[in-house]
């Protein structure tokens, strides 16, 4: 699905050329600032979406829901869920996201271009697809979504909750909460890697205070998910037998102090507990809430988390060697086909969670990672890990590094999402 292209650029070059429509065209290249890529490529993002659609089509039809709402639909697991629903089950989809549109001479965020490409491909396939760009935490976007559902689809069969945001403006208090990624109790010190340079070094993170923990739970816990379900149910927008699913992560022992046992972990605990509360709320319409624990993958957020890039680099190397590596689309296809919609009861662990991280968390995989972790240095990581694969996946997030895309060609940055005026 992904290219082996090794093109890496340092800047964005703009060639202003007036064509017949007087629109500026430009050559777009990755422009990095630390762990962030400031540009994205509309044609590359489109290729990424097309590749994922092709994968879903190659795996055959899934007997899944026909009316799907994806909250956080523009990148990562949310985008993969929208693609799997539409092109695996012929579902009508509404996608909610908060992305930066393009402006003259400036590219949009990749999720904008992904969503434009998705709607274009859905339209070609005769599938209903509409999108809402705005703050999913707000009451206004919830109401806008409900109005669209009631007008176009009537009710929803599946709600995917896949939001990833560092901040949340609480719709009732007006307070802006910021999440943090910190250990709880003790200072955390361990190895990390700068994936741009391959340098392995030691990093330390000071522990969180109570305010850090509370804010992180407000932003990344289950409260907003529950508020979405309440609003949809009150509006009679949920079909009988509705399922709702949120995505979580547990991870290995080597990251647990800063992740699962840190501030983010408290938020994930809250999210997972919310699934049971939602199931109780939906009993009268035979609905259920689940959390799916997914595997570690390269995202813009994970790239900035100390320890995680080194862990993912080692994980990729091992899982690729074992033939069990998955990206977002492979994970979600397996989640739908093998767990949610295979005609059997949905298997969960002792805490009621769906575990699609099962291959990552295999004992043999984790034992090998623990061994390689100890051996990892700047000099050895090139051989022990898969930094090249990590960098490739990072570039792919922004539409760069795909086969079949001419990155030296002029492109229009002013791409619109068809359903968004």
Grade residue 301 by pLDDT with cuts at 50, 70 and 90. confident
Residue 394 has pLDDT above 60, yes or no: yes
Long-range contacts, 395-398 (Cβ 8 Å, 24+)? 395/8, 395/30, 395/37, 396/2, 396/3, 396/44, 396/48, 397/37, 397/75, 397/110, 397/298, 397/299, 397/300, 398/30, 398/37, 398/39, 398/40, 398/41, 398/44, 398/45, 398/110
Residue 279 lies in a domain: yes
Cα 63 from chain centre? 23
How many Å apart are CA 115 and CA 97, to the nearest integer?
9
**Annotated catalytic sites, by residue?**
259
How is residue 310 written in tokens? 């080194």
Residue 122 lies in a domain: yes
Residue 254 lies in a domain: yes
Terminus-to-terminus CA distance in the chain, angstroms? 32
Note the pLDDT of residue 7.
Answer: 39
Note the pLDDT of residue 24.
Answer: 61
Grade residue 252 by pLDDT with cuts at 50, 70 and 90. very high
Note the pLDDT of residue 33.
Answer: 87
Encode pLDDT of 167-204 as tens digits. Answer: 999 999 999 999 999 999 999 999 999 988 999 999 99
Grade residue 23 by pLDDT with cuts at 50, 70 and 90. low
Q: Domain containing 345: what range?
A: 32-184+220-305+325-358
Closest residue by Cα to residue 420 from 16, 14, 73, 75: 73
How many Å apart are CA 145 and CA 23, to the nearest integer?
33
Distances from the Cα of 78 to the Cαs of 9, 70, 206, 343, 398, in angstroms? 28, 7, 32, 23, 16
Residue 72 lies in a domain: yes
Q: What is the mean pLDDT of residues 160-168?
A: 95
Residue 251 lies in a domain: yes
Q: How many domains does the chain have?
A: 1
**CATH code: domain of residue 252:** 3.40.50.720
Residue 8 lies in a domain: no
Residue 12 lies in a domain: no
Encode pLDDT of 110-142 as tens digits. Answer: 999 999 999 999 999 999 999 999 999 999 999
pTM more than 0.75: yes
Residue 247 lies in a domain: yes
């Amino acid at each position: 699905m992904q290219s082996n292209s090794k093109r890496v650029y340092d800047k964005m070059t703009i060639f202003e050329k007036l064509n017949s429509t007087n629109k500026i065209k430009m050559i777009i290249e990755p422009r990095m600032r630390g762990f962030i890529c400031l540009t994205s490529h509309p044609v590359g993002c489109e290729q990424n979406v097309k590749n994922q659609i092709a994968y879903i089509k190659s795996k055959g039809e899934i007997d899944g829901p026909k009316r799907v709402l994806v909250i956080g639909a523009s990148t990562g697991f949310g985008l993969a869920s929208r693609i799997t629903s539409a092109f695996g089950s012929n579902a009508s989809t509404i996608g909610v996201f908060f992305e930066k549109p393009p402006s003259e001479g400036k590219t949009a965020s990749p999720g904008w271009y992904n969503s434009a490409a998705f709607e274009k491909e859905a339209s070609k396939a005769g599938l209903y697809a509409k999108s809402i760009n705005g703050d999913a935490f707000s009451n206004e976007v919830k109401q806008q979504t409900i109005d669209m559902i009631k007008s176009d689809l009537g009710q929803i069969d599946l709600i995917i909750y896949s939001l990833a945001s560092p901040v949340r403006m609480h719709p009732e208090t007006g307070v802006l909460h910021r999440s943090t990624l910190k250990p709880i109790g003790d200072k955390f010190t361990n190895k990390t890697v700068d994936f741009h340079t391959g340098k392995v070094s030691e990093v330390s993170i000071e522990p969180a205070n109570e305010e850090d923990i509370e804010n992180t739970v407000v932003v990344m816990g289950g409260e907003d998910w529950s508020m979405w379900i309440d609003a949809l149910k009150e509006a009679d927008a949920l079909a009988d037998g509705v399922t709702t699913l949120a995505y979580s992560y547990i991870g290995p022992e080597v990251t647990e102090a800063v992740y699962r046992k840190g501030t983010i972990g408290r938020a994930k605990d809250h999210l997972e507990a919310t699934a049971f509360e939602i199931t109780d709320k939906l009993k009268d319409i035979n609905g259920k809430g689940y959390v799916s624990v997914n595997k570690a993958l390269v995202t813009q957020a994970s790239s900035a988390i100390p320890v995680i890039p080194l862990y993912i680099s080692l994980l990729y190397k091992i899982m690729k060697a074992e033939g069990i590596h998955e990206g977002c689309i492979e994970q979600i296809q397996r989640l739908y086909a093998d767990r949610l919609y295979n005609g059997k009861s949905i298997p969960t662990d002792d805490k009621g969670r769906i575990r699609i991280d099962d291959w990552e968390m295999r004992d043999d995989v984790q034992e090998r990672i623990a061994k390689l972790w100890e051996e990892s240095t700047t000099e050895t990581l090139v051989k022990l890990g898969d930094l090249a694969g990590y960098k490739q996946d990072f570039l792919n997030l922004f539409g760069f590094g795909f086969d079949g895309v001419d990155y030296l060609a002029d492109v229009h940055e002013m791409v619109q999402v068809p359903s968004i005026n």
